[in-house]
Amino acid sequence: MTMKRFVTALLATVVFAAIFSGFSYVPTSQREPNVYYFGFFETMVFVIIYASPVYFLVGLPSSILIDKIVIKVYGKSKWNRYFWRLGFYSLAGILISVILLVFIQNNDLLEAIPFTICCMIASNIYFHLYLLVSKVMKKNTLVW
């Protein structure tokens, strides 16, 4: 079970970094002269460096806790569990963003809202990749 989560965290870090890099990339035709812009892969490396500790140190324990709570309380229906987990993962992303914003002492609301949305998207990327990895491992009956 923990190997699935570890693989998922690794994949989620790379997928989130690629998505973030894609959105923040400025094409060469739109760049200002004499201004340095990070390339796609440079941005991706920086996002991996900063996002991987959050995924592994905060995301994995949060994921285990969320899944235990949802299975225990909302365990019967597959769709019921899916929507409750989706809500809890989104809430965990928001909560983690608030903690990080307090930690870095950022009081600017215009920067906090996009950061919170990015954290919520990151947690949902993890959640959906976890569902995919679980399905693939179950179908292939890999021994992890």
- Rounded Cα distance, 88 and 100, in Å: 18
Report the candidate in 9, 33, 16 with the shortest Cα–Cα distance to residue 118.
Answer: 16
Report the candidate in 54, 61, 53, 42 with the shortest Cα–Cα distance to residue 119.
Answer: 54
Report the candidate in 73, 77, 49, 70 with the shortest Cα–Cα distance to residue 130.
Answer: 70
Which pLDDT band holds residue 1 (cuts at 50, 70, 90)?
low
Report the candidate in 94, 70, 96, 72 with the shortest Cα–Cα distance to residue 84.
Answer: 70
**For residue 9, how far is the Cα from the chain centroid?**
8
Question: Could you tell me the residue range of the domain that residue 74 belongs to?
Answer: 2-140
What local confidence, expressed as pLDDT, does residue 45 receive?
94
- Rounded Cα distance, 6 and 31, in Å: 38
Number of domains the chain is built from: 1
Which pLDDT band holds residue 75 (cuts at 50, 70, 90)?
low
Express each pLDDT in 91-128 by its tens digit.
Answer: 999 999 988 888 887 777 777 888 899 999 999 999 99
What local confidence, expressed as pLDDT, does residue 144 receive?
45
What local confidence, expressed as pLDDT, does residue 100 receive?
86
Answer with the residue of higher pLDDT: 76 or 130: 130
